Amino acid sequence: MITLVIGGTRSGKSEVAEGIAAGLGEPVTVIVPADAIDAEQAARIAAHRDRRPAAWLTVECGPELADALAVAEGTALVDSLGTWLSVSADLDVGVDELVGVLQRRAGPTVVVTEEVGLAVHPTTDLGRRFVDALGTLNAAVARVADDVRLVVAGRSVRLEP
């Protein structure tokens, strides 16, 4: 089972995803597709980790998301696709490879991602390329997801296929 949880910055999407993952059974592996590159990012990762049950394993995998997801046991929680895209060279991620791994996983997977289509239009070329790439990535994962939830202000609604 694949659940995609999508929302804007500080929408509460990670907490909603954690609640979903908690109901899917142990063990839970949280996959963070980034390495803490500065104190602020390390603090964010730590705050998320501290909020989750102590038994949950956190794996910081950098751009190697598909590889980390392929070996995760039990329930996997990926937080987040936007982070993964941002740490990948030239915003070039293996969308098809990720989708394949998601479809082959035996355990349930909850994927968190940022909704950028409702945000302010970026003024730079890099910003526009990021929005386009993340929109394409989100749509690809949504196509194979069994459940897609949009989170706004900590509340979620199920999106129809």
Q: Which residues are catalytic?
A: 48
Give residue 1's identity as a one-letter amino acid code. Answer: M
Taking the CA atoms of residue 4, residue 126, residue 43 and residue 3 in that order, the dihedral angle to the nearest 10 degrees is 0
Phi-psi region of 96 (alpha: psi -120 to 50; beta: other; left: phi over 0): alpha
Sheet holding 155-159, edge to edge: 57-60, 28-32, 75-79, 109-114, 2-7, 147-152, 155-159
Cross-strand pairs, 109: 2, 76
